[in-house]
DNA sequence: CTTTAAACATACTTATAAAGTATGAATTCG
DNA sequence: CGAATTCATACTTTATAAGTATGTTTAAAG
């Protein structure tokens, strides 16, 4: 009698965020290679490449090719939000199908449940869009959970 | 160049909530058969059965066997929260793996991102645990989106 | 006291999407 | 030119959500 869905954050989001934070913390010495971040973060290089390309396409980072190349943040860490990162790698946050396409919402009852999901969706979205990379970078990790 | 994870609510949660709401709205005439709800909601009967059994195991509904049997809410709609329903069908809400098992959080940086996920996790959880079935039942669906 | 209608239980199948890999082309620096 | 990097696409693998099948147990009703 196993239980159902998990509602987890995907690795694209978690890795993408760590990647951006890594860049915010280390970009003072020019472009950073994906290989470097991959090693530092313990993430597959190829997979990170795939993720960073989404961030690039969204205009959050710039890529510089050739020797000495790498990636740099396209703007200041205090103007990049977690919401932007999330949307870059996974699209608009949409907790259930009917939120994007209300025509699927044919029954009165769906509509009531839909309102709750919509609220929560909105709360999460707001929270993410009001947290910047700089906020994250400057935050302090509580001692109990830190193990560096 | 497809994007990553979707962070959607699973059908178990959505169906489970609709099932509970259906019961809250229709339980005045005694036990309700799963077949009835399945038809009313347009959901597979067998699948709903599977879901309701989780709700039963969690003590949110009671099952009555035999002819004339069915399910009833185990307590009043104003004392059953969406949080309880969600946890019954999918376990504690846990947006990312490290939240349950902090020993996986070995790097300083994870810890910073972890704090955000934890915050959001908490916000969602609180919201769900403070919304009751009765709240849902008595809510009014905005006209624009209602199509009964 | 048998029939029947429901819940209950488990195991299986299928479909979908997440996660990761492989291969190679394009660009740019030295 | 040669090497190091990004860039692009297509593929493979793995996990899990979603749904189905088959059958057992319980209890009301005839």
Nearest to A54 among B3, B25, B95 (CB): B3
Higher pLDDT, A131 or B97: A131
Position B148 confidence tier, pLDDT thresholds 50, 70, 90: very low
CA B89 to CA A5: how far, in whole Å?
Answer: 8
CA B51 to CA B53: how far, in whole Å?
Answer: 5
Backbone angles phi, psi at A18, to 5 degrees: -65, -40
Q: Which stretches does DSSP call E strand in B24-116?
A: 61-64, 70-73
Query: Which H or E element spans position A88?
Result: helix A82-90
Nucleotide with C1' nearest the B43 CA: D19
Can you tell me which residue has its alpha carbon closest to the C1' of nucleotide D17? A5
| Cα end-to-end distance, chain A, whole Å | 39
Nearest Cα of chain B lies from the Cα of A68 at a distance, in angstroms, of: 25
What three-state secondary structure class fits B147? coil
Average pLDDT over residues B55-68: 97
**Interchain pair B4, A116: CB under 8 A:** no
Higher pLDDT, A1 or B41: B41
Contacts of A5 in chain B (CB under 8 A): 8-13, 90
Range in A110-124, B31-45, B61-75 the model is least confident about: A110-124
Q: Which of A144, A5, A86 is nearest to B89 (CA)?
A: A5
Contact A120, B124 (CB under 8 A): yes
CA A147 to CA B13: how far, in whole Å?
Answer: 35
DSSP 8-state code for residue A62: E
* pLDDT tens for each residue of B63-94: 999 999 999 999 999 999 999 999 999 999 88
Nucleotide with C1' nearest the B62 CA: C7
Tokens 């205009």 correspond to A59
Position A48 confidence tier, pLDDT thresholds 50, 70, 90: very high
Q: Which of B120, B26, B122, B32 is nearest to A108 (CA)?
A: B26
| pTM for this predicted structure | 0.90
**Interchain pair A14, B147: CB under 8 A:** no
Nucleotide with C1' nearest the B69 CA: C6
Q: Using CA coordinates, name the residue in chain B closest to A139.
A: B112
Domains of chain A: 11-139 (1.10.10.10)
**Interchain pair A124, B119: CB under 8 A:** no
Nearest to B145 among A3, A89, A111 (CB): A111
Contact B99, A11 (CB under 8 A): no
**Interchain pair B7, A115: CB under 8 A:** no
């Amino acid at each position: 009698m196993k239980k159902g869905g998990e509602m987890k954050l995907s690795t694209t989001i978690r890795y993408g965020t760590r990647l951006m934070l890594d860049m915010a913390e280390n970009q003072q010495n020019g472009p950073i290679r994906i290989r470097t971040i991959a090693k530092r973060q313990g993430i597959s290089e190829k997979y990170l490449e795939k993720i960073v390309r989404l961030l690039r396409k969204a205009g959050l980072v710039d890529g510089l090719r050739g020797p000495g190349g790498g990636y740099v943040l396209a703007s200041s860490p205090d103007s990049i939000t977690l919401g932007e990162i999330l949307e870059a790698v996974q699209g608009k946050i949409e907790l259930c199908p009917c939120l994007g396409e209300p025509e699927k919402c044919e029954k009165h009852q769906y509509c009531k449940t839909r309102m709750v999901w919509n609220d929560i969706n909105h709360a999460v979205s707001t929270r993410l869009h009001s947290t910047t990379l700089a906020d994250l970078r400057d935050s302090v990790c509580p001692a109990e959970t830190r193990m560096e």
